[in-house]
A and B are shown apart, each in its own frame.
Chain A
Amino acid sequence: MRATFVILMKDLRLRVRDRSAFIIGIAAPLVLATILSQVVGDFGDGDFSATFGLVDDDRGQVSAQFIERIKTEVGQTSGFDFETDLSEAEARDQVDKGDLDAAIVFPAGFSDAVLSQAQVGLQVIGNKEDQLSAQIAGSIAQSIASRIDAANLTVRLVAPDGTPDPGTFFAALQEQPPVDLTQLQSDDRQLDTTTYLIAGLGTLFLFFLVQYGVTGLLEERQDGTMARLLAAPIHPLTVPLAKALVSVVLGLIGMATLAVVSTVALGAHWGDPAAAVVLIVAVVLAAVSVVGVVAGVARTAEQASNAQSVIALILGLLGGAFFPISRGEGLLTKLTLVTPHYWFLRGLGDGSAGGLGAAWGSVAALLLFAAVVGGAGTVLLLRGRWR
């Protein structure tokens, strides 16, 4: 164990002098995440707000009722405001200027057309630079149309001869709100953008960082020092063990520094500290297991470095290191489940909401990954191509 520690300290000293480990493990993910979070914006924080215009060119009974109900019922949802008493031209002008996020226009003759069960259209005015608001306005309009269809169906059922009855129509219209906005929470609780990007990119760069330990085996062989190490009175497996420990220590230092610095300087929220610590340890072990396989197969340090870079990028892309991966049924989506990045980010999200107890699933997945891949790496290393 003493020899393992001696080799570990020597390698860490070399890495400190080299400085590349610091750049790859800490500086690069911090800088990239800062830039990306500025470029992308904080799209995931749940603080959405919008002001919609409601234009009543109809001035009829039906449009008035819909506008009133939208204001009272949809307006209860936090962040939504409505402007009325606008003409279509004023609404269009304000949307273009950005004073309104979108507008819904009830055209002249809307009430008469609805009550006579004739075809009628609602108009949605949106700004192409604010697609989300336009989509919400469109959803409200769609909901109104659906409600009108449902009320008309009720009228037809009550009066089979099809005679329009405004009383029945309005009674049916009262039964449901025009649109039901519910604050939905996804199964996978989300990190805010800054934290997601820093954690994702940190994991990506972790896979580059840990190679400095294990692939050091190949550097020792290339530089001629391996012969001297193996001639020393130590068990031969001390050398790969020490190199693996170097990877683990570098990975832990890199991720821990990233978490602390990003929290203090960038306002990242890594969630429950205990969950974050356990997840960081687990993802570092998973990353080291991958580099163990690479070192067991590669013949030179350059070969190992290239292979590790390709693997790191593929796993990072699949695992959502750059942007969240949508959940679905496709093959690529399923492949995210075999990446440590996905489980780490998911675990952080779960841990933020439910603490360590909620993150155990992700921790178990990461440790399983480390055990399976690390087992393969150990077998390859025992074959001794690195000697």
Chain B
Amino acid sequence: MTEADGDVVLQASGLRKAFGDLVAVAGVDVRIGPKETYGLLGPNGAGKTTTISMIAGLLDPDAGQVLVDGRKVTTRSVKAKAGLGLVPQDLAIYPDLTARENLDFFGKLYGLSGPKLKARVDEVLGVIGLTERAHDLTKEFSGGMKRRLNIGIGLLHQPKLLILDEPTVGVDPQSRNAILESVEHLASAGMAVLYTTHYMEEAERLCDRVGIIDQGEIKAEGTRRELVALVGERDRIGLTATGSIEAAVAAARELDGVVSASATGEGMEVVADDVHSLLPALLAKVGEAGAHVSGVEVTEPDLESVFLHLTGKALRD
């Protein structure tokens, strides 16, 4: 993300919200730049939806503030909300309206009208793959189709920031993949995306940066690699090899980026900072040292292990 304030789409600072004695969000900061997809990763009850609600102007924070494209967002904001698109966790569509009528209605609420509205509705119907079903009542749709329409409504007015609150909960694998592809498409088209999930693989696939949230606090934030490095986790390469293993281990240790190397019963194991950039050089070096490699197994630390390290519990707890 570009750190210059002028390039910040979302700047949420010191957000805090309590419901009675329960502190749901305790000082959350989030900054998202243009074209960036930011993942808010945490288990159920971590404070994701409350944070989203404050950012979307559904709740006023007890402390802190939200700026979207430089405008302050509160429950009474009008102009600032025009830059936001929200895809709530629960389906937010009218079952007794058709897909087109749903899109028309929300488009008008966002100020679209006439040919521009029609063009956008047609375009979005295409993006979410519902052109053929545009005139069907949505109560006749499958769960996946409803989810896609739910997302389509959020991006109808081409917001600067699209907020997706666990959009794949309860969705079949095929529809889930379609939704993830849609989000990737939006991000590549230049939209800033705030994506909450408790699915680690979704965060890893979609997000440029991830904030790990638990008990209402951002425990850590950064790219996947930064988070992994933050908790001291490394990539591991297991080589199944024969020949001069000891010489190969010594040769591997000489390479930049290798943290450690050791012989194993089936060959050798190398611990490195970035396995992808290291692997070609490592294989060449080991071969030169007289080892014959017959298998390679790469193990990268994932966000699940980072989350476990930071919070002491698994994401799905």
Contact = CB atoms under 8 A, between A and B. Distances in A.
A229 B153 CA distance: 11
Interface centre among A13, A17, A225, A387, by most chain B C-beta atoms within 10 angstroms, is: A225
B75 interface: yes
B76 A235 contact: yes
B105 interface: yes
A4 B101 CA distance: 17
Nearest to B83: A233
A228 B96 contact: no
B76 A6 contact: no
B110 A227 contact: no
A232 B106 contact: yes
B180 interface: no
B57 interface: yes
Contacts of A229: 109
A228 B88 contact: yes
Interface string B80-121: 111010101011111111000100011011110000000000
Contacts of B63: none
A230 B57 contact: yes
A7 B108 CA distance: 9
Contact of B90 (A14, A17, A224, A234): A224
Contacts of A3: 108-109
Interface residues of B, number: 31
A269 to B, nearest CB: 39
Interface string A1-26: 01100110010011001100000000
Contacts of B86: 227-228, 231
A231 B84 contact: yes
Nearest to A238: B109
A243 B45 CA distance: 33
B94 A227 contact: no
Contacts of A75: none
Given A14-B97, A232-B109, A236-B75, 10 more contacts: A7-B109, A13-B97, A223-B94, A223-B95, A225-B94, A227-B58, A227-B86, A227-B92, A228-B88, A233-B82
A117 B106 CA distance: 93
21 contacts: A3-B109, A6-B105, A6-B108, A13-B101, A14-B97, A17-B96, A224-B88, A224-B90, A224-B92, A225-B94, A227-B53, A227-B56, A227-B92, A228-B106, A230-B57, A230-B58, A230-B75, A231-B56, A231-B58, A231-B84, A232-B81
Contacts of B79: 233
Interface in B31-66: 53, 56-58
Contacts of B53: 227
B81 A233 contact: yes
B78 interface: yes
Contacts of B109: 3, 6-7, 229, 232-234
Interface string A274-294: 000000000000000000000
A14 B94 contact: yes
Contacts of A225: 92-94
B48 to A, nearest CB: 14
Contacts of B95: 223
Residues of A in contact with B, size category: 20 to 34
A6 B107 CA distance: 10
A225 B86 CA distance: 11
Nearest to A17: B96
Given A3-B109, A6-B105, A228 B153 contact: yes
Contact of B92 (A7, A14, A228): A228
Contacts of B81: 231-233
Interface in A206-252: 223-225, 227-236
Contacts of B108: 2-3, 6
Interface centre among A228, A229, A230, by most chain B C-beta atoms within 10 angstroms, is: A228
Nearest to B163: A231
Interface in B136-185: 153
B111 A233 contact: yes
A232 B95 CA distance: 19
Contacts of A230: 57-58, 75
Contacts of A13: 97, 101
Contacts of B56: 227, 231
B148 to A, nearest CB: 15
Nearest to B79: A233
Q: Which 8 A-B pairs have the closest CB atoms?
A: A224-B90, A233-B82, A231-B86, A228-B92, A233-B81, A232-B109, A224-B92, A227-B88
A234 B58 CA distance: 12
A224 B91 contact: yes
B117 to A, nearest CB: 11
Contacts of A227: 53, 56, 58, 86, 88, 90, 92
A2 B106 CA distance: 13
Nearest to B137: A17
B58 to A, nearest CB: 5
A227 B75 CA distance: 11
A212 to B, nearest CB: 13
A230 B58 CA distance: 6
Contact of A233 (B78, B90, B105, B153): B78
A16 to B, nearest CB: 10
A322 to B, nearest CB: 34
